[in-house]
Structure 1
Amino acid sequence: MASTELATERALYIGNTIATVIYGGIVFIYGYSTYLLMASRKPIPRRLFYISFGGLLLLLLTIASASNLAFGELMWIEQRNDPGGPPAFFAANLSAWYNVFGTAADTAANILTDGLLLYRCYIIWGSRLRVIVIPAIIFLGSTTMSVMMVIESAVPMSNIWQGLAARFGISWVALTVGFNIIVTGLITFRLLSIHHRVQSILSNEQKSVYTGAVAILAESALPFTVLGIVYIATYIKGIPSATAVGIVWGTFAVLTPQLIILRVASGVAWSKDTESSITQTTLHDSFSGSSNTIIKNA
């Protein structure tokens, strides 16, 4: 067996293993978020939206994960003695229906995640439409490329790592990563600027909730963006580890919005009124402080 083929199989195994662990965490987060949303006093339509959105993402991830695991089980166990062994099976079955189904589920989850991030960016920037114009155009481009990749990957003997399917795939991942870099930068800049503006007024707990490190990591999808950069780098070079990185990146496409939904369910996510509420608190505290000073000096 060639070293490249062995490295690819190893990457598939490692990617599936890591993704399965993350999948378990996502199931827990979704269940806990659903419990909090059911018990909250938020408007019913809003609660149902986040429960349904998170459930749909979990379903898509389940399909993608089952596809990867089924592919590995067939390659390494059921048909390992076929002519050419696992390497030949890997090359001949990348366009099998279950693989295409899994790829379609993965890309659909990614599209939904990017859509949610675009909406969150819009909210965090105070519903300023001009801020999201460029990211929205990139989002439409990445969506188009992902659909083309899925269609091309369904062609018999097609390979998402080579040929036309790979070119569509690289374009999709590049546009998605570019979109995530821009949106992550916009959200991070916004939260840091607000943090700098109110850091002398708000308590440490308030700053931690809305503009702290955890808030920035969750709201901006920074881990997902960094992993996407690693994935596009390995994908373009065509190295075997791209398989593992791509599988893990696909799970992060569902983990990221689940963390945002958890913040929404916990009542600490940014909303349309968060900035105005913080600003009013700042003005109120500043006014109270000034009044106290005047009284003490009287």
Structure 2
Amino acid sequence: MADMSKPYYGPVEDQATIDIERFFLAGDYISGVGYGVQLVLWASCALYLWKQRQRGKKTTLLLCYITLLLIVETIFGIVQARTVQVIYIDNRNYPGGPWQYFLDTQSLAINVMFYATLFVITFLCDLLVLWRCWVIWNASGLYIAYAVTLFPFILLIASFAMGTLWTLQSSHPGLSMYSKEPLAFGTAYYTLSLGVNIILTALIVARLLMYRGTHLEHLPPEHAQQYLSLATLIVESAALYSCFAIAFLVSYALNKPINQIWLGFAQAAQQVATYLIIYRVADGTAWTKKTMSTAALTSMQFNTKNGSDGKRRPGGTATLQLTMDSSRTGVDAVEDVEAPELGEKEK
């Protein structure tokens, strides 16, 4: 049989360029899926917050915050979709291929918006995790909360400055996020941003585990499941983002094409984690200073029963609900419905 070779209709670029184009498209798809998830979470959070808008300024601020986050993410999604169209459809025959066109046109408005929106989204999400860390540690005292969050706050400011430089350098004519200088700024920026998230994640998890170790054995099962589960630790600390951000940072610093995949996951995961935190805040299940300082401990049952004379004797049931406030000493006993009969028995 004659050897019939199959004609090649693929690109003429080198394998590294082809790989990064493949991962770029895959990353765009992941971002689109992530946007769909975020849209559903935004609607859920907005509905909760809107119903509770009369409760105070914090509810209104959170509603404005998630709306701003959605607007910026929508702009990012539009820009990313438009970028794919421009490089793969409008300029597919550009010398060196579509990816070379992308690298050569970083100063175009569409690419500047790509970097700017990505930077703003990351900063807004980092800011929320910092706030949650402060809220959780505030149960230990205001000054302790400030002391614990001071270093992450300084790192956040540093990452903001470095991110601004990265955005400007990446969008400079003749440069891109993969050029030598922008790559150095970008690595420094994401290292700082990731460092902030890792530190805040560790601080939040540590504080919750401290509380868990102290009170888990005294809490009712439903209370423990709601506030001290593994899912709670992951959501409250935004650990979901940190995992994907580490993968992106390593692959980006090594200039590996797969960094586009991890960037799509990290960008989506960070906002999903943010919405999950706000959902817990709106739903009333998020950790607050009151949650950390006050917890139901247990209930006590006393058996009593009616005797032949109609008076209570051991065998019936009465319940005492004990609550503990860690800001005070002692235990307050709140009597249940049958408590008056206990008083009668004591007489």
Does TM, normalized by the shorter one, top 0.5? yes
> Cα distance, 1:157 vs. partner?
1.7
Q: Distance in 2 between matches of 1:87 and 1:166?
A: 17
> After superposition, where does 1:47-62 map in structure 2 within 5 Å?
47-62=59-74
Q: Secondary structure at the match of 1:278?
A: strand
Length, aligned pairs only:
292
Indicate yes or no: 2:84 matched with 1:72. Answer: yes
Q: Distance in 1 between matches of 2:99 and 2:114?
A: 20
- Corresponding residue number in structure 2 for 1:21: 33
The one-letter code matched in structure 2 to 1:125 is W
Indicate yes or no: 2:118 matched with 1:106. Answer: yes
Q: Tell me which moved more, 258-267 or 89-98.
A: 89-98
> Cα distance, 1:265 vs. partner?
1.0
Q: Distance in 1 between matches of 2:95 and 2:247?
A: 35
> After superposition, where does 1:1-298 map in structure 2 within 5 Å?
1-40=13-52, 43-126=55-138, 127=142, 128-278=145-295, 283=324
Q: Tell me which moved more, 211-220 or 73-82.
A: 73-82
The one-letter code matched in structure 1 to 2:324 is L
CA contact (8 A) 1:75 1:86 kept: yes
Higher relative contact order (CA 8 A, sep 6+): 1
Q: Distance in 1 between matches of 2:114 and 2:175?
A: 15
CA contact (8 A) 1:202 1:282 kept: no
Q: Tell me which moved more, 62-71 or 116-125.
A: 62-71
Q: Distance in 2 between matches of 1:147 and 1:14?
A: 27
Relative to structure 1, is the Cα distance of residues 193 and 153 closer, same or farther in structure 2, using a 3 angstrom cutoff?
same
CA contact (8 A) 1:113 1:253 kept: yes
Q: Percent identity?
A: 26
The one-letter code matched in structure 2 to 1:273 is K
Q: Distance in 1 between matches of 2:75 and 2:163?
A: 17
> Cα distance, 1:158 vs. partner?
1.2
Q: Distance in 1 between matches of 2:18 and 2:56?
A: 52
CA contact (8 A) 1:58 1:254 kept: no
CA contact (8 A) 2:106 2:172 kept: no
> Cα distance, 1:163 vs. partner?
1.9
Describe the superposition over 1:69-100 as per-residue Cα deviations: whole angstroms up to 9, x where unpaired.
11111111122123333132122123322111
> Cα distance, 1:247 vs. partner?
2.7
Q: Secondary structure at the match of 2:324?
A: helix
Report the TM-score, using the length of structure 2 for normalisation. 0.79
Of Structure 1 and Structure 2, the greater helix share is in 1
> Cα distance, 1:41 vs. partner?
6.6
Of Structure 1 and Structure 2, the greater strand share is in 2
Q: Distance in 2 between matches of 1:135 and 1:273?
A: 24
Greater Rg by CA: 2
Q: Tell me which moved more, 154-163 or 20-29.
A: 154-163
Q: Distance in 2 between matches of 1:279 and 1:176?
A: 38
**Structure 1: tracts of 5 or more residues without a match:** none
Q: Distance in 2 between matches of 1:13 and 1:29?
A: 25
Q: Distance in 1 between matches of 2:102 and 2:209?
A: 47
The one-letter code matched in structure 1 to 2:117 is A
Q: Distance in 1 between matches of 2:222 and 2:20?
A: 46
Relative to structure 1, is the Cα distance of residues 273 and 147 closer, same or farther in structure 2, using a 3 angstrom cutoff?
same
Describe the superposition over 1:37-60 as per-residue Cα deviations: whole angstroms up to 9, x where unpaired.
122376242221111100111111
CA contact (8 A) 1:135 1:179 kept: yes
